[in-house]
Chains A and B, each alone.
Chain A
Amino acid sequence: MNPTSYLVLATLLFTIGAAGVLLRRNALVAFMSVELMLNAANLAFVTFARMHGNLDGQIVAFFVMVIAAAEVVVGLAIIVMIFRTRRSASVDDASLLKL
């Protein structure tokens, strides 16, 4: 199968994820969209590793997975705390960091 198709799929997934982050208000959905973008990048890395015939891209993909797992732990904890205090998970409500 032509590896270029994987790259096209990765681009599509990344675009969906970016659009989700920018357009959805719910913090959990935005969070899931971020995960989608990370995994699109992973897919691109693995595809390039295959195309160039070395393992560099696969190793980076593992690192991304580990980072993503750690990020999920911290991010979910924050979202849960925000939901508990404000009874809402909308990112537009949490816009206090301004003058």
Chain B
Amino acid sequence: MNSINSLSQGFAVQADVVRADTVQVVQEASGLFSWTWLLIALPLVGAAVLLLGGRRLDRTGHLIGSAAAIGSFVVAVALFIALLGESGGERSYLVPLWEWFNAGGYEVRVDLLLDQLSMAFVLLITGVGSLIHIYSIGYMEHDERRRRFFGYLNLFVASMLLLVLAADYLILFIGWEGVGLASYLLIGFWQHKPSAAVAAKKAFVVNRVGDMGMVLAIASMLVVFGSSSFEVVFAGAGSGVTTGWLNAIGLLLLLAACGKSAQFPLQSWLLDAMEGPTPVSALIHAATMVTAGVYLVVRSAAIYDLAPEARTAVVVIGAITLLMGAIIGCAKDDIKKALAGSTMSQIGYMMLAAGLGPAGYAFAIFHLITHGFFKANLFLGAGSVMHGMNDEVDMRRFGALRAAMPVTFATFALGYLAIIGLPPFAGFFSKDKIIEAAFAENILIGICALLGAGITAFYMTRVMLLTFFTSKRWADDAHPHESPRVMTWPLIGLGALSVAGGAGLLYIGGGIVDWLEPVTGEEHHDLPLPLALLIALTLTTVVAGVALAWFMYQRRPVPAVAPAGNPLVTAARRDLYGDAVNEAVLMRPGQYLTRSLVYVESRGVDGAVLGAANAVGGLSSRWRRWQTGFVRSYALTMLAGAGLVVIAMLLVRLP
């Protein structure tokens, strides 16, 4: 508690820091930049053609889908080169398209914003996305629904591009939901498996919880600022809005980010999402979907800069998820689930960095991009291993595969070296920057980040050893073989990026920090300890993690069936009881609530209505016996009535 208080005080001081040295000018797009919409249109048209085209496109569908993604990448590269030609403060272009609606004083325009931040995302999404498309041609070759798969992939890419290019939170939300839909369709792509259908549903439902945060955040923006466009909201955040509102919006946006980025407490869908085909996992974890939350936080920098409590929450959530994901990754025997735990952990790093404010935004994006390279590499490598091993995912059934699939091994090793953060591979630069920034901010957060790096080294070494080293533990009918070239070439490309991506992005032409500075601002803190010592400390932790894994898995025989572990291992195997907590805290009380509501409805509401009807019916069937049909009894009744009237009149002495 104390540390959190001091943390927020630290933020309160920072809020006074000027955000950017160069003032960003948003210009009306012209020339090449007015073609930005092509980025989204190409994959969107691809998706429409593939999904509506029917069986006649079965033979060419994968080529159309890949061409759409690659076309989008070519446009992205052209735009990037054009942006490089501008000076630092003038790289932001607003591309007005049309007015969506104008009602009740709110005007929402479909505009695209192409600036340094969206450009970085667009390059990652289309670049890594294209490689995954190409890889999928080989991976899904024997699936008779391959055309549809490529249609969904295109839809996924188009939604994500809309998400990062939107210049209005409402438009961003369309992309946000599109990503949710596409992930649902892809995770449940093999819907004949009940587990895949359930996983897709789970991902969708958990994401809806996050989306509620998004909806409420947009509603708050409309109330407070009268608009949801970036321009108005960011300008309004700095002038005369109470910190309470900003914190509320910040926390709601964080809830949304938690859903999409699988951060604690909405992390449970990510591990189940491994039911989808492996290229989908690569796409979700590297280029689209889980990066959306980090994008949202960094894009909303203007809000978070002035909302210290919300930022503290982002840091804390990031730190918790970072450790949770890493611990889960240590215990999983399913290679894809181990990698999924790793994604949670790495996204936790990014959230942590994003929560540090201007000191961390650029590093969050930097790590996001390098992570995109090596995580896509690792997932596609895992897919290649599964491809050669009859879709086996249990690492206890792998072992000694390096000779059987040399290219997969080599590229996987590059991704492995990148993620554990050994120099000069990509992860070293990006993760080290985050650990530095975390230490500069708060020693406790720094230690969390450092510990995470050690655990990362441990579980990734475990994956590496169990899969490619140790002894053969293959199933009897397994004949491991190298994957076809259409799958290995994307691996080689991503492997190269895993090697060179980090240093390249950090140092070439001023690097990504300078590139993003007009959007995110920049800020330096004094480290509490010398930089060289910190790097040494990080590397020592990493080496310790690797060594521990080496002694545990290489030096001892690996049992084919997972041995019973200590309570922590059991907990990690069960996702640290994330599902159990969800069931106990949300599902069961929810079920009790609905059941009791049903009871109230059937007994209370229905009881009152049906009871009244039955009472009227029962009384009527009694009272109708008075209708005997005998004229003389009616006459007697009339006489009695008349007598009563006369008596009453006499009693009250009516004149």
Contact = CB atoms under 8 A, between A and B. Distances in A.
Interface of A: 18, 21-23, 25, 30, 91-92, 94-99
Contacts of A18: 639
Contacts of B632: 21-23, 25, 30, 91-92
B630 A95 contact: yes
B629 to A, nearest CB: 3
A97 B629 CA distance: 5
User: Which are the 4 A-B pairs with shortest beta-carbon distances?
Assistant: A98-B629, A95-B629, A91-B631, A97-B629
7 contacts: A18-B639, A22-B632, A23-B632, A25-B632, A91-B631, A97-B627, A98-B627
Nearest to B631: A91
B646 interface: no
B630 A92 contact: yes
B2 interface: no
Nearest to A33: B635
B596 to A, nearest CB: 43
A81 to B, nearest CB: 15
Contacts of A97: 627, 629
Nearest to A25: B632
Interface string B609-643: 00000000000000010011111100110010000
A98 B639 contact: no
Contacts of A21: 632, 635
Interface of B: 624, 627-632, 635-636, 639
Contact of B628 (A23, A91, A94, A95): A95
Nearest to A96: B629
A95 B627 contact: no
A97 B636 CA distance: 17
A54 B550 CA distance: 131
A23 B628 CA distance: 16
B635 A99 contact: no
A26 B231 CA distance: 99
Give chain B's interface secondary structure class.
helix
B631 A94 contact: yes
Nearest to B634: A97
B127 to A, nearest CB: 85
B639 A22 contact: yes
Nearest to B630: A95
A43 B38 CA distance: 107
A21 B639 CA distance: 10
Contacts of B639: 18, 22
B50 to A, nearest CB: 70
Contact of B624 (A25, A92, A96, A99): A99
Contacts of B631: 30, 91, 94-95
B629 A22 contact: no
A92 B636 CA distance: 14
A96 B629 CA distance: 6
Nearest to B624: A99
Contacts of B630: 91-92, 95
Nearest to A97: B629
A99 B636 contact: no
A96 B630 CA distance: 8
Contacts of A99: 624, 627
Contacts of A23: 632
Contacts of B628: 95, 98
B540 to A, nearest CB: 98
Contacts of A30: 631-632
Contacts of B636: 22
A22 B627 contact: no
A18 to B, nearest CB: 6
Nearest to A91: B631
Nearest to A92: B630
Contacts of A91: 630-632
Contacts of A22: 632, 635-636, 639
A95 B627 CA distance: 10
Given A22-B632, A30-B632, A91-B632, 14 more contacts: A18-B639, A21-B635, A22-B635, A22-B636, A23-B632, A25-B632, A92-B630, A92-B632, A95-B630, A95-B631, A96-B629, A97-B627, A97-B629, A99-B627
A14 to B, nearest CB: 11
A26 B628 CA distance: 18
A99 B621 CA distance: 10
Contacts of B624: 99
A40 to B, nearest CB: 14
Contacts of B629: 95-98
Nearest to A95: B629
A87 B549 CA distance: 113
A21 B635 CA distance: 8
A94 B629 CA distance: 8
A82 to B, nearest CB: 11
A21 B628 CA distance: 17
B626 to A, nearest CB: 10
Contacts of A96: 629
Central interface residue in B627, B632, B639, by most chain A CB within 10 Å: B632
Q: Specify which of A23, A94, A98 lies most central, judged by the most chain B CB atoms within 10 Å of its CB.
A: A98
A91 B635 CA distance: 12
A65 B635 CA distance: 22
A32 B631 CA distance: 15
A48 to B, nearest CB: 15
Contacts of A98: 627-629
A30 B624 CA distance: 26
Contacts of B627: 97-99
A98 to B, nearest CB: 3
A23 B636 CA distance: 10
B496 to A, nearest CB: 94
A25 B636 CA distance: 14
A31 B632 CA distance: 12
A97 B634 CA distance: 12
A13 B628 CA distance: 29
A10 to B, nearest CB: 15
